[in-house]
């Protein structure tokens, strides 16, 4: 078995290193191309098969340096293939917008600079937008304003009608040769007078009502000084627990023992001889 790491190599006997010459191949024409590993810089849709390629998908791409430049910044072009139909997709760097620009083979799902262009509005467009926002105010606020305006118009109309009627009455009295009496009604005074009349009517209504006489309970001093009621004291007695006859439960009969008969014998008198010598302590 041969070695895994060869330390010495075989040289034939007729080996002449001077005969080995260095040959240079032709230089690569066109832009410089190298293979790199990259991730998709944006989400895109393949125009050939409709496959969606999400942002961050890894590819083995060919990187090409183009002759285009943006303020002396080199622009690079990348070639990848669709994961479904293997169609070639090309995109390049965009230093102006600090992003990437899709060239062919796919369609970008979202382009942020387009939204930025739409966001740039002129002075006239800004004024039009402000007018639209002013017209689209809160509906409730507009309704409240309309209600207040309607109330004010109604008050003005009532005041005008009153003035017209008073002027007509004055003119009619002057034609008849009489002095017209103009009465000025104070609204606050009339309201205050009406409130006083309502309070007086309520006071009279409540004063006329008679409350039912339920009577009063009279308590005498004797009832208050009654002797306290004696409460009987309950005494508890301990009852002995009856013993259970387990023999009767098991069917065992105990023999009956006759009660001893009472004896009428009297104890025999002690003999005097036994007690001799115990009547004195002298020896």
CA distance 253 to 246: 11
**At residue 250, does pLDDT exceed 80?**
no
User: Dihedral of CA 54/55/58/63: which sign?
Assistant: positive
82 annotated ligand-binding residue: yes
CB contact at 8 A, 89 and 60:
no
Q: How far apart are CA 47 and CA 49, in angstroms?
A: 6
Confidence of residue 144 (pLDDT cuts 50, 70, 90): confident
Which two three-digit tokens encode residue 158? Answer: 């009532």
* Cα(31)–Cα(134) distance, integer angstroms: 58
Percent pLDDT > 70 in the chain is 66
CA 224 to chain centroid: 65
Condensed to tens digits (0 to 9), the pLDDT of residues 22-45 reads: 777 777 777 788 899 999 999 999
Higher pLDDT, 96 or 266: 96
Residues 158 and 151: their CA atoms lie apart, in Å, by 11
CA-closest candidate to residue 107, choices 62, 164, 42, 167:
42
pLDDT, position 209? 62
Handedness of CA 50, 51, 56, 58 (dihedral sign): negative
When pLDDT is cut at 50, 70 and 90, the band that residue 226 belongs to is low
pLDDT bucket at 129, cuts 50 / 70 / 90: confident
187 token code pair? 């609204």
For tokens 């125009």, what's the residue? 47
Which residue in the block uniquely carries the two structure tokens 């104070």? 186
Residue 105, phi-psi category: left (phi > 0), alpha (psi -120 to 50), beta (remainder): left
Digit-coded pLDDT (tens) for 204-213: 877 766 555 5
85 annotated as a binding-site residue: yes
């Amino acid at each position: 078995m041969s070695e895994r790491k060869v330390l010495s190599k075989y040289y034939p006997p007729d080996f002449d290193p001077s005969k080995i010459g260095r040959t240079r191949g032709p230089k690569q024409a066109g832009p410089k191309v190298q293979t790199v590993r990259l991730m998709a810089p944006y989400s895109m849709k393949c125009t050939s098969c409709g496959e969606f390629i999400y942002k961050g998908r890894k590819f083995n791409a060919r990187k090409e340096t183009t002759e285009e430049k943006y303020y002396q910044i080199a622009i690079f072009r990348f070639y990848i293939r669709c994961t479904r139909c293997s169609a070639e997709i090309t995109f390049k760097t965009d230093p102006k917008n600090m992003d990437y620009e899709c060239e062919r083979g796919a369609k970008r799902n979202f382009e942020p600079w387009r939204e930025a262009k739409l966001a740039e509005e002129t002075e006239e467009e800004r004024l039009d937008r402000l007018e639209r926002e002013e017209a689209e105010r809160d509906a409730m606020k507009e309704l409240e304003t309309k209600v207040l305006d309607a109330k004010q118009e109604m008050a003005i109309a009532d005041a005008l009608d009153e003035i017209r009627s008073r002027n007509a009455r004055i003119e009619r009295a002057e034609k008849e040769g009489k002095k017209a009496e103009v009465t000025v009604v104070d609204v606050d005074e009339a309201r205050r007078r009406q409130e006083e009349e309502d309070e007086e009517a309520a006071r009279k209504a409540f004063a006329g009502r008679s409350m039912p006489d339920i009577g009063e309970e009279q308590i005498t001093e004797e009832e208050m000084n009654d002797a306290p009621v004696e409460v009987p004291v309950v005494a508890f007695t301990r009852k002995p627990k009856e013993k259970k006859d387990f023999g009767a439960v098991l069917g065992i009969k105990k023999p009956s023992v006759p009660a001893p008969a009472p004896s009428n014998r009297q104890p025999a008198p002690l003999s005097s001889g036994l007690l001799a010598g115990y009547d004195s302590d002298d020896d």
